[in-house]
Structure 1
Amino acid sequence: MGGDGPGSILVGIDGSTPSMRAAAYAVGMARRQHCRLIAVYVRAHPPALLPLGDAGGCATATAIEAQDAVEKELRETFGQYLPQLGVAAELVVRTGEPFTELAAAACEARADAVIVGRSAGVLHRIAGSLAGRLVRCGKWPVTVVP
């Protein structure tokens, strides 16, 4: 209330090319609209340790290291580029299922728009993509960036 345009935009990022395109789009939109940008990176729960001896532990450690590397890269990118652009932005890191965590973050932030990258997975055509689920939720305008 009291303003024209969105107050906050939420973008889901995971380090993939489509999500980074979505982030670039969201940064531009936030800059033009003079609103806050919330970027959400959702870390997956580490795979359960399987009773396969050390193999299960190695897989878990590898998954955690990969997520740590993505998070570090996203934090560095945010710290390096956003101050130059004059966008009020924050990176939020959550753990869980992407749809659930993005929807919860959007509700908590009272986001006026949600932006995500296009899913590249073939399985998503059958099970439904994150973007499709957010659209069907019907709580926010959702922009899907290719």
Structure 2
Amino acid sequence: MDGPKVLVVGVDGSTTSLRAGAYAAGLARRQRSRLVVVYVARPGAFVGLAPGAAALAREADHEFAEDLRRQAEEAATSVGLKISFQEVYGDPYTELVRVADEVGADGVIVGASMRAGHRFAGSLAIRLVKTGKWPVTVVP
């Protein structure tokens, strides 16, 4: 087989991440690659301030991830693509690198950051590119 065997795409529900997911699905289908869809839930800054808030936030993140999983699986089925979906918890950069290493990714696909400050301070995509382990595709 010529081309990537395993692709990892990060999704968080943002417009650009959903575009990245669609792009990754099309690429995986055309290249006959395995697609690993990763949702990274992040701990909130104020979660520790209220008793029980961490558990509620975690449950909300899980419900959101399950909705993304359903959407991804439905879209994949409609184009004849098999995917795996991973819900992880932590820093998006750290977790995407970990998952990509674990699955032996040949490429990582993410959506462009919508935050204005990331143009100057750096974004997830820039950090992934600087890692230099695999090609990184950034979808606007």
Q: Distance in 2 between matches of 1:33 and 1:67?
A: 32
What residue is the counterpart of 1:68 in the other structure? Answer: 62
Question: Among residues 119, 125, 132, which one is paired with 1:131 in the alignment?
Answer: 125
Q: State the aligned residue count.
A: 139
Q: Distance in 1 between matches of 2:48 and 2:33?
A: 43
- The letter for the 1-side match of 2:108 is V
Say which one has the larger Rg: 1
What residue is the counterpart of 1:100 in the other structure? Answer: 94
User: Partner of 1:49: helix, strand, or coil?
Assistant: helix
Unaligned runs of 5+ in 2: none
Question: Among residues 128, 134, 140, which one is paired with 1:140 in the alignment?
Answer: 134
Unaligned runs of 5+ in 1: 51-55
Instruction: State the Cα RMSD in Å.
Output: 1.8
- Deviations 1:35-81 (CA, angstroms, capped at 9, x unpaired): 1000110011244412xxxxx24754663354233212112112322
What residue is the counterpart of 1:53 in the other structure? Answer: none
What residue is the counterpart of 1:114 in the other structure? Answer: 108
What residue is the counterpart of 2:25 in the other structure? Answer: 27
- Deviations 1:71-97 (CA, angstroms, capped at 9, x unpaired): 121121123221221112110111110
What residue is the counterpart of 1:80 in the other structure? Answer: 74
- The letter for the 1-side match of 2:3 is G
Indicate conservation of the 8 Å contact 1:116/1:143, yes or no: yes
Indicate conservation of the 8 Å contact 1:12/1:41, yes or no: yes
> Taking structure 2 as the reference length, what is the TM-score of the superposition?
0.90
Q: Distance in 1 between matches of 2:73 and 2:137?
A: 25
Alignment of 1:49 with 2:57, yes or no, is no
